[in-house]
Structures are given as structure tokens and as C-alpha cells.
Amino acid sequence: MVHPSRIHDHSGGSLPVSGRYVLYWMQASQRARCNHALEVAIAEAGRLGVPTVVAFGLTGQYPEAQPRHYRFMLQGLAETAQDLRERGVAFCLRLGEPPEVALELAAEARLVVMDAGYLRHQRAWRTKVTRGAPCPVLEVESDVVIPARVASDKEEYAARTLRPKIHRLLGAHLRSLEPSPVHVFAGDMGVATEDASDVEGLLSALNLTGDVDTTPHCLVGGTSQAVERLEGFVTRRLPHYHDRRSDPAEEWTSGLSPYLHFGQIAPLEVALAAQEAGGQGAEDLLEELIVRRELSINFVLHNPAYDRYECLPEWARATLGKHSEDIRDPIYTAEELEQAATADPYWNAAQREIRLTGAMHNYMRMYWGKKILEWTRTPEEAFAITLALNNRYCLDGRDPNSYAGVAWCYGKHDRPWQERAVFGTVRSMTRGGLDRKFNMAAYTERVEAL
DNA sequence: ATCGGCTCGCGCAA
DNA sequence: TGCGCGAAGCCGAT
């Protein structure tokens, strides 16, 4: 049973009349398990007595996406396609703009179910499908624990303003999802599709222009990888998560961010696993996974400038502006930063980490962003460089969390602190702070060994 | 090692 | 209208 607040009916009163299948246009929730949109599609198909077809539109033009992002995603889709077929659901992968692929297949659909996306292009795609589909369209939110507009109908100021709203709704929404039985198996639907298992062939077909490719240190995509990682995290790391999650010297975090970004695992599945384990570590994980993550979604949904300096609160822009003439020393170019060629070994290690692995330790990610503010000519330029490097190298780049995380470095969702050069009253971070708290030699050695 | 002050604005209590 | 308090900090005083 899918909680009705996850389902948004865009049919405008139109009724399903003809059509030979229910189409689930999969775009964000790229998984065959714990997927509310998929379960709604299967349940509706059963009610209508037709099979379910899942379609994915694969475009080589995805904003800022690099080969390493595509490979990770396609590894996951290959597995998802197989899992769906085993369940009696057809999977159709087509090259093209996602909304166009969805509308091609909607022509023969009785009903379209789609998942939710919160960035502006994702919302525009869904609007296009809603307006263009010849049948009713349901949007189902499966990549959040609390549906975004149910949690809050406005931009929240900080975690503390969203937290009580989320906690009030947790009881009703932190509920496991039972798979719906498939009544009408999809046989040969006569629907043209690419071969989803041919990851390298698809990569070639996309003619990608980006030059940031997968390395042997990058994670492998896919739901089974995510589930395996989740199980290891819950048994081995969660008991120490409260005390050690901030320490970059060792890996005590879940590392699930890329899998969550591509929807290869549901936040609900992660939350339920942590909740079942219990303890302070679980409390901390749920705070990050639900309150902080869904604050990021609230941010991109309600702040139209989420990818620009203008997204920052007034006080932050005022104080950074007041200090825009402060002497910066050293100053690095975007190129020097990208090459990890600064005089700071800790920063260089963090940058090396994203270049080689596609991920960066959570704590270092804050330090890394704060230092770019300190080492470039203007806070506007710093913001742009930080976001560009983040999105280019991190496997979870372009996630709402990425936008909120970068903006946090510049004052978003935070409060003012003691005024100082360059930062003004935006919270600063220093090398000394890292040395005081952590074994930084262990961190740099770990990254150097990659 | 620990502690207070720094500084703003939201949201609740009154 | 007043007041408490907040993602991860920093610095200087004790």
C-alpha cells in the first residue's frame, strides 16, 4: 500500500480509455525494488488487466554528466532491466530526450506513472509529459521518505525549521513497501528497445564528449552493490557512526550517496535498515538521510537560484560582499584547483579523492568548499568553481544534496559566526581545525595510496 | 581539555 | 515583542 500523499494525479479528470499497457516512465528511481512508482504502476496495470511497461529515456546531453556518471548509471540500469523482466515487467531503454521517449510510449498507454525529480530540468521534463500525454499521468514520489510538498510548502530557512515538520510525518511515511503481485505478464510487447545489458555499447552510442571517465577506484553502480554496501554499513559501521563519521582518516560513512543519487536504492530502504539496527548511530544516520537530505530537496524545489550565488541568504551575501575586497593569499586559478596543485596537502588530497574515486569524505567536502572561497578572487567565482568541480567529478554531483552542500559552504542553511577576513561572518574552517580533530596524516596517506 | 563569545533570524510563547 | 536556539567552527582565556 502506497501512502496516497506520495501520489500526485495530473490527469485533470481525464479517464483511461484505450491503450495496451500501463507505462512507468522511470527516470529518477532507477530500481526494481522498494520503488513506489513501480508498485503503483503494477497495481494499476493489474486493476486494468494490462501488462506493465517500464521505459527509460537515455540522453547523451544530460546537463554536466561525464562518462563516469553514465557508466555508473548504466551499470545500475542493466541490473534493473534484468530484475524487472524476472518480475514479468517489460523494460524499454531508448536513446533520446527523456520526455520524448516517455511520450512516444505514452501513445499506446492506458496510464502513465512517473517518478519525481526536483531539479529544474527534471521538473520541466515532467511538465512536458503531463501536458503531452494522451492519458492520465500519475507522479509518485519514491526517492524521499516524506513527499517534498507534504513536508513543507515553502523554502525552509534551516534544518531546525524543517526537522519538526518531518518528525511529525515520519510515523505515517517510514513504512515498508510490499511488492504488488504482477497479474498480467509482459511477453513480447513489440516495443523497440536498446540492449540494457550492453553497458559499453550504450556508452559508445551516446558519443559522449566529457573526459572524466571511470577509474578502478570508482564505485560500481547497481542495486545489488548498494544493498551489499548497506548491509556492510549497518553491521560494521553504524555502531560507531555517532563517534567516527566525521573522521576522514577512516571510512565510517555509508558511501551510499551515488546509489541514492541514481535511485538505485531507496532512502526508505536505508532508513528502515538503520531504524531496525537502532542506537545513536541510527539516529544520526536518519537525521542525515531524511532531515538533511530532504532539506536539500526542499532547497532545489523552492529556490530557483539553487545553482547560483544568488541562492544564498541575504545576510551571507551582505557579509561576503563586505569582505570581497579583502586580500586573498594565495589565489588559485580554477585550473590549479582542479589539478589539486595548491600548497595545502589536505585540500589537495580531497581534490585527488574526487578525481580518482568520484567521492569525497563528508567532512572534507565542507573544508574543500570553504577553502575555495578563501582562495579565489570573489565569492561568486568561488561558488561557481566549487559547484562545477563537485558536479564534474563526484558521482553524486548534480544531486540536490550537492547543491545544498556547496551552498552551505557559503552560508546557506547556516548561521553567522565570528567575523573574519574574506569569510565575513560565514563559518570558516581551518587546517588547524583538521589537525586538532583528526589524524590527517592517515587521511592523506590513504588518498595518496590510491 | 573545556568554555564562552561571536552573530542573525526564525518561530514559538506571551 | 521577547527570547531561545541553531550541521560539523574558531579563538583566546582559564
Contacts of A226 (CB under 8 A, 6+ apart): A256, A259, A264, A265
A 351-370: CB within 7 Å of strand C: 362-363, 366
Which nucleotide comes closest to A287 if you measure CA to C1'? C7
> Helix, strand, or coil here: A8?
strand
How does residue A14 score in pLDDT terms, banded at 50, 70 and 90? low
d(CA A93, CA A193): 5
Q: Cα-atom radius of gyration of chain A, to the nearest Å?
A: 22
In sequence order, which residues have a C-beta less than 8 Å from that of residue A429 and are 6 or more positions away? Answer: A366, A367, A370, A371
Give, to the nearest 10 degrees, the angle between helix A440-448 and helix A345-357: 40
| Residue A414: CB less than 7 A from any atom in strand C | yes
- Residues 213-272, chain A, CB closer than 7 Å to nucleic strand B: none
Provide the 8-state DSSP code for A305.
Answer: T
Across all strands, nucleotide nearest A292 (CA–C1'): C7
Mean pLDDT on A380-399: 98
State the cell numbers at A420. Answer: 573574519
Is A332 within 8 Å of A375 (Cβ atoms)?
yes
Angle at A91 between CA A125 and CA A147, to 5 degrees: 45
State which residues between 156 and 185 of chain A bring their CB within 7 Å of strand B. Answer: 156-157, 161, 164
**Confidence check: pLDDT of A447 > 90:** yes
Percentage with pLDDT > 90 across chain A: 96
Query: Which residue places its CA closest to the C1' of nucleotide B5?
Result: A418
C1' of C5 to CA of A11 (Å): 45
Going by pLDDT thresholds of 50, 70 and 90, the confidence category of residue A44 is very high
Are the beta carbons of A250 and A427 closer than 8 angstroms? no
Q: Please provide the distance, in angstroms rounded to a whole number, between the alpha carbons at the two ends of chain A.
A: 46
Spatial neighbors of A165 by CB under 8 A, at least 6 apart, are A151, A152
**Residue range A78-126, pLDDT digits in tens:** 999 999 999 999 999 999 999 999 999 999 999 999 999 999 999 999 9
Of the pLDDT bands very low, low, confident and very high (cuts 50, 70, 90), residue A18 is confident
* Cell output for A203: 556508452
pLDDT tens figures, A303-326: 999 999 999 999 999 999 999 999
Model confidence at A159, in pLDDT bands (50, 70, 90)?
very high
**Which protein residue lies nearest to nucleotide C5, measured between its Cα and the C1' atom?**
A160
| Residue A423 approaches strand C within 7 Å at CB | no
Q: Which of A39, A49, A30, A36 is nearest to A5 (CA)?
A: A36
- Evaluate if residue A426 carries a pLDDT over 70: yes
Q: What is the pLDDT of residues A221-252, one digit of tens each?
A: 999 999 999 999 999 999 999 999 999 999 89
Least Cα distance to A148 among A8, A23, A257 occurs for: A8
Is pLDDT at A264 greater than 90 in this prediction? yes
Query: Measuring from the CA of residue A296 to each C1', which nucleotide is nearest?
Result: C7
Average pLDDT for A331-342: 98
- Residue A16 is predicted with a pLDDT of 64
